[in-house]
Structure 1
């Protein structure tokens, strides 16, 4: 990947991250894991001590829910449809080009791993977002009106 990034004219910062084994997918996966933990842990509702100036304040409900719902709405269908595509390639109905891989089989193996991961993370994110949504919904709303 480092050679491909260098050939494509990546910046020095990008090449340094690549040389350490970090690329955009690793960084985004770490950010996604942080989001998922925030949806299921208490510090996702009240800012923890390590957030210096925000410590002890309630986390605005939309702050974790917006990226969680967008992520779930995009990653789950992408992963599920991609897994279906991999299944069609595996049965010979469709073909896959090797791209930067040594063979089509290598590309297919990486595709299977990636698509299952996207589908799993998207579904998990949807479940965690729903749980957070229900746990943080406003309470004490009194319904008024004439009968």
Structure 2
């Protein structure tokens, strides 16, 4: 009898950590994190709507020429943004609360997607990507207030999208940790992901190389896609040398994308001292690829938006300075797909549901 009691006690003790782990995990907490971030930002815009100082967007932007609301002041813009972020906070809370909502799932997921699209296409721009260079140079003082707000908005709606994914999994009967179901893996199986992931990787490699080719041409003395006048102006300021250096960094980064379908992307090659032969942690490839995909997509969308706003109407001779960037969303989407395929191939057996 004592042995039976002790065995039952041990089984209960084993289940406690598992229960705690299941309760306090990202699918459970991500919605509340999104709600809190969006609520705080909605209240901040409410403060600005009532006349608060340091509004970061629209005509108050340090560089309003990049903004979708270049000629819109705080009094007109802040109330709309406050309403939008507070509405998104409400959506995040509905996604986070246990159980299924009476609101149809496609409506909730669509609202989350629209919130993210609104931020990506209007508030955020290429300065997030550009200021990344300042971070590497440890020049944090060069990052302006608008970029900080753009980054907060992007992270907030990113959390919202993640909470929408968690809600969809929870209400559809899929594993909240990996998204697998009993109906089979389908396009998410390692074999299928290897096929379409390879295409995504090659696309993510080619597009930035096309962009880099124009910058290399300028540095070598060929004004490809720009007027002689603009090329001479850039030459005097050594702008093309700097541009070629940045393009080279982008090209090297694109070549690293090949690791998502190559063996050296899963096992450290022999020339990596101290790590040779060891398994590459999936997050080491997935996290940077995902972040870069978001930033280049946002930057490319900005160039497309500026084109439709007529900002480049007087620069038709200098198409090489703007058109290559308009293809960046293709690069971003392909890179995100490549990272997703890499994740599907390497995720292994789920610790939550046991599916593999």
Runs of 4 or more consecutive aligned structure 1 residues displaced over 4 Å after TM superposition: none
Cα 1:27–1:130 shift into 2, 3 Å: same
Where structure 2 has 5 or more consecutive residues not aligned to the other structure, the ranges are: 1-233
The reply on whether 1:111 has 2:332 as its aligned counterpart is no
* SS of residue in 2 equivalent to 1:54: coil
User: Partner of 2:259 in structure 1?
Assistant: 38
Query: Quick one: structure 1 residues 95 and 119, their matched pair in 2 at CA, closer, same or farther if it must change by over 3 Å?
Result: same
| 2:303 aligned partner | 82
SS in 2 for 1:53: coil
Structure with greater contact order relative to length (CA < 8 Å, sep ≥ 6): 1
Asked if the contact 2:306/2:312 (under 8 Å) is kept, the reply is no
Q: How does 1:10-29 map to 2 (within 5 A)?
A: 18=241, 22-29=244-251
**Which residue pairs with 1:94 in the alignment?**
310
Q: 1:94 Cα shift?
A: 1.6
1:61-80 equivalences in 2 (<5 Å): 61-80=282-301
Q: C-alpha root-mean-square deviation of aligned residues, in Å?
A: 2.8
Rounded to whole Å, the distance in 1 between the matches of 2:276 and 2:320 is 45
Name the structure with the higher helix share: 2
| CA shift in 2, pair 1:73/1:58, >3 Å | same
When residues 23 and 142 of structure 1 are mapped into structure 2, their CA distance, relative to the original with a 3 A threshold, is closer
With structure 1 as the length reference, what TM-score do the two structures score?
A: 0.67
The separation in 2 between residues aligned to 1:55 and 1:127, in whole angstroms, is 28
In 2, are the aligned partners of 1:75 and 1:119 still within 8 Å (CA)? yes
Deviations 1:86-121 (A, max 9, x none): 2x2xxxx523386xxxxx1133443112221x2222
Structure 2 counterpart of 1:5, from 238, 249, 254? 238
TM-score computed with the length of structure 2 as normaliser = 0.30
Task: Give the one of 327, 333, 356 matched to 1:123.
Answer: 333
Pairwise CA distance, 1:26 = 2.0
User: C-alpha separation between the residues in 1 aligned to 2:279 and 2:237?
Assistant: 45
Quick check: which has more Rg, 1 or 2? 2
CA shift digits 1:48-86 (9 cap, x unpaired): 122232111001111111110101112123213422432
Structure 1: give runs of 5+ residues left out of the alignment. 7-14, 99-103
